[in-house]
């Protein structure tokens, strides 16, 4: 098990080097926006990643492809950049690349969209990209929250374990516990009449341990908690990346998640702690959650 911390790949000042003594063995280079795919950002990012290989070791490095306005299904430029990313990661022998389905739309638009058809478009495109690059570097699809943080735009295709049932054999899965517990809480809110089901085109009753059905495909873990549920009617927002003790769902569910992760752990599996910080060059929450995780791991 490799404990990892993400950093904004366009800002090398955020890199959690070992002398920071945060407790991580690995790092995840993260990009968020379409703008980051343009050469003046893209090329320096890969130079930064290349410099990190002899420091952390290639198998302790992962790359997170952009999400915002980065539709690789319908946009050839974005698709080619994902192919390029996989090729670059392969040349550097990185552990893997994290990708979302990137089909974000306003909530109202999803009422007329066939979710299965959309899932197949994503999986077919990723399978094509995977086949373009022969590689030991994995390409893995991350589960999304069933509702976004602001209650406006969603990507409800790959949320619950059942949504991944048709994933091709050569694609992996990234399981994000902040997203998953958020989705569980949203389903509870709908069932209890606190939110309207019309806002949830993908509504499934689920339990924490259900993700274990995917254990043979899970390559990578993202771990943090969330505070508050977003609500399209009240304009309440959700805050991702909080510590388990600050979560709306309470600490016990995340303690249980650690026990479940221990059941599927492998030496090469990364756990990336995606927690928010006031200062990403002097991290405090990362230290707190890694210490907490290690303690729970020992007791699991």
| DSSP, residue by residue, 89-138 | HHHHT-SEEEE-----EEGGGGGGS-HHHHHHHHHHHHHHHHHHS--SSE
Report the alpha-carbon distance of residue 141 to residue 98 in Å, rounded: 6
Q: Which two tokens stand for residue 248?
A: 């709306």
Give, in words, the CATH class of 2-299.
alpha beta
Confidence label for 19 from pLDDT (cuts 50, 70 and 90)? confident
Model pLDDT, residue 7: 98
Tokens 């274990």 belong to 212
Are the beta carbons of 201 and 190 closer than 8 angstroms? Answer: no
Beta bridge partners of 273: 223
Query: What are the pLDDT digits (tens) for 65-94?
Result: 999 999 999 999 999 999 999 999 999 999
Q: Which two tokens stand for residue 276?
A: 């928010």
Model pLDDT, residue 65: 98
User: What are the phi and psi torsion angles at 62 (to 5°)?
Assistant: -135, 160
Query: What are the pLDDT digits (tens) for 42-55?
Result: 999 999 999 999 99
Report the alpha-carbon distance of residue 194 to residue 9 in Å, rounded: 39
Q: Which two tokens stand for residue 224?
A: 């943090």
Query: What are the pLDDT digits (tens) for 125-161?
Result: 999 999 999 899 999 999 999 999 999 999 999 999 9
Q: Is the dihedral of CA 114, 126, 101, 189 positive or negative?
A: positive
Are the beta carbons of 49 and 61 closer than 8 angstroms? Answer: yes
Query: What are the pLDDT digits (tens) for 171-187?
Result: 999 999 999 999 999 99
∠6-11-16 over CA atoms, to 5°? 40
Query: What are the pLDDT digits (tens) for 190-223?
Result: 999 999 999 999 999 999 999 999 999 999 999 9
Question: Can you give the residue ranges of every domain in the chain?
Answer: 2-299
What is the DSSP pairing of strand 153-154 with strand 105-106? antiparallel
- For the stretch 50-57, contacts whose Cβ atoms lie closer than 8 Å and that sit 24 or more positions apart, written own/partner, are 50/92, 52/15, 52/27, 53/92, 53/93, 53/94, 55/17, 55/18, 56/25, 56/26, 56/27
Are the beta carbons of 255 and 211 closer than 8 angstroms? Answer: no
Confidence label for 300 from pLDDT (cuts 50, 70 and 90)? confident
User: What are the phi and psi torsion angles at 103 (to 5°)?
Assistant: -115, 45
Report the alpha-carbon distance of residue 182 to residue 144 in Å, rounded: 9
Model pLDDT, residue 240: 98
Model pLDDT, residue 197: 96
């Amino acid at each position: 098990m490799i404990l990892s911390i993400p950093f904004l790949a366009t800002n090398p000042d955020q890199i959690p080097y070992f002398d920071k003594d945060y407790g991580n063995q690995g790092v995840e280079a993260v990009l968020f926006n379409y703008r980051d795919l343009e050469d003046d950002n893209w090329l320096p990012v890969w130079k930064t990643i290349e410099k990190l290989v002899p420091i952390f070791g290639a198998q302790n490095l992962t790359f997170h492809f952009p999400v915002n306005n980065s539709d690789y299904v319908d946009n050839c430029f974005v698709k080619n950049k994902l192919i390029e990313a996989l090729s670059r990661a392969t040349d550097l022998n990185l552990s893997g690349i994290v990708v979302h389905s990137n089909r974000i739309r306003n909530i109202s638009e999803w009422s007329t969209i066939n979710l299965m058809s959309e899932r197949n478009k994503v999986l077919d495109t990723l399978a094509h990209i995977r086949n373009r690059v022969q590689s030991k570097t994995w390409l893995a699809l991350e589960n999304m929250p069933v509702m976004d943080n602001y209650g406006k735009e969603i990507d409800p295709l790959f949320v619950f374990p059942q949504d991944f049932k048709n994933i091709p054999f050569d694609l992996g899965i990234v399981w994000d516990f902040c997203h998953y517990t958020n989705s569980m809480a949203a389903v509870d809110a709908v069932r209890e009449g606190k939110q309207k089901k019309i806002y949830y085109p993908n509504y499934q009753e689920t339990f924490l341990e259900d993700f274990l059905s995917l254990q043979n495909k899970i390559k990578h873990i993202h771990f943090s908690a969330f505070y508050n549920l977003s609500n399209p009617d009240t304009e309440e927002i959700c805050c991702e990346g909080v510590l388990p003790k600050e979560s709306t769902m309470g600490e016990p569910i995340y303690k249980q998640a650690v026990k479940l992760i221990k059941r599927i752990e492998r030496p090469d599996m990364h756990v990336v702690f995606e927690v928010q910080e006031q200062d990403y060059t002097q991290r405090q929450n990362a230290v707190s959650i890694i210490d907490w995780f290690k303690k729970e791991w020992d007791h699991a």
